Amino acid sequence: MESAHPHPSVNRDADLRRLDGKIVLVKSSRDRRNPPTALRGTIEVRENPGAALEVNLAVDFPQMFTQSAHRRTIPLDPTGITRLINSEYNGTFEFTIDDELT
C-alpha cells in the first residue's frame, strides 16, 4: 500500500521551484561601509536530470568606469538554501555572502 504523504524531497523540490525568479538582496559580510551596500539579485533554480535541484543567486553588475558590465552566479549549498528560505519577508529574500560583492 502506498503512502498518502509524498516523500519529503518532493515537497522540498516544489518549495525550491517556487523560488525561481524571486528577488533577493545580496550583501557582503566584508562590507564595512556605513550604511552597507547591497545588490539586487535573482534566485535561479535549475533542474539537473538525476540530481538535486541547483539553486543559484544571479547578480548583475552594471558597467562602471574601470569595469565592464558582468553577471556573477553564486551557487548555494543546502545550508545556504535553508538560510535563504528563512530570510523571506513579504515575498523578498536577503542573503549575506562571505566574499566581496564584485
59 — pLDDT class (breaks 50, 70, 90): very high
Rounded mean pLDDT, 61-71 = 82
64 — pLDDT class (breaks 50, 70, 90): confident
Q: What is the pLDDT of residue 84?
A: 96
**What is the b/e burial string over 80-95, where b = at least 16 CB atoms within 10 angstroms of the residue's CB?**
bbeebeeeeeeeebeb
- Asked if 35 and 50 touch (Cβ cutoff 8 Å), the reply is no
Report how far residue 53's alpha carbon sits from residue 63's, in angstroms, rounded to the nearest whole number: 31
pTM of the full predicted structure?
A: 0.80
9 — pLDDT class (breaks 50, 70, 90): low
Q: What is the pLDDT of residue 56?
A: 97
Rounded mean pLDDT, 73-78 = 95
Give the residue with greater pLDDT, 3 vs 60.
60
